[in-house]
Amino acid sequence: MVRHWHYLLLGYLVLLSPGMWLKAQHRKMQFDHICLKDGLPHSVVAKIIQDKEGFLWFATGNGLARYDGYDFTVYRPDASDPYSIKDANIRNVVQDKAGNLWIATAFEGLNKFDRYREQFTRVNYWGKDQGDRGRPIITSLMADTEGNVWIGTNQGLYCRTPQASKTIRYLSASGWKPSTKTGREICG
């Protein structure tokens, strides 16, 4: 018992310390609502992300919107600009390791946004030989830490690699064909 006196003393001092009796302060959080009158292009938002620069990106039914905390910049198709986004109905948006945004649209597939040039490029991820006719519908989108962009579709999983700038299509272990319904849809 004599050997452990310093532990007893330490315990006694901790109990007497004023910090022990302080109550935890309830942190009051404040939220700001953003709506159409603030510049949001549509009331339906499919996804929101924050990029590496701190901007918020809203995938909406009427364009892709970037919010800097004060104002919105809305990106919509512009027939006179070949570098504009190709569709206004935005379903998903992710940022890759290099800082590029990848945007899944309802009718024009995948778009890549180069934020340094402020330019959009339509990306053919399903195969050049198929054209638009057999284009899979994007159901999910994800960027991994290696810089790959994973594209889940109603016809399987695709991976866009940054090194070769090419797309790899993955089939299930059973080797299903795109025409089969069961298990072909990759959802996020």
Task: Please state the domain extents for the chain.
Answer: 41-170
Q: Encode pLDDT of 38-82 as tens digits.
A: 999 999 999 999 999 999 999 999 999 999 999 999 999 999 999
Euclidean distance between the first and the last CA atom of the chain, given in angstroms as a whole number: 61
| DSSP structure class, residue 31 | -
Residue 170: exposure state from Cβ atoms within 10 A (0-12, 13-18, ≥19): exposed
Q: Encode pLDDT of 125-167 as tens digits.
A: 776 555 555 678 898 999 999 999 999 888 888 888 877 677 8
Architecture of the domain made up of 41-170: 7 Propeller (2.130)
What is the per-residue pLDDT for 171?
A: 65
Q: Would you say the pTM of this structure is higher than 0.85?
A: no
User: What single string gives the DSSP state of each residue in 116-139?
Assistant: TTTEEEEE--S-GGGTTTTPPPEE
What is the per-residue pLDDT for 180?
A: 47
Which residues pair with residue 111 across a beta bridge? 103, 122
Rounded to whole angstroms, the Cα distance separating 146 from 162 reads: 9
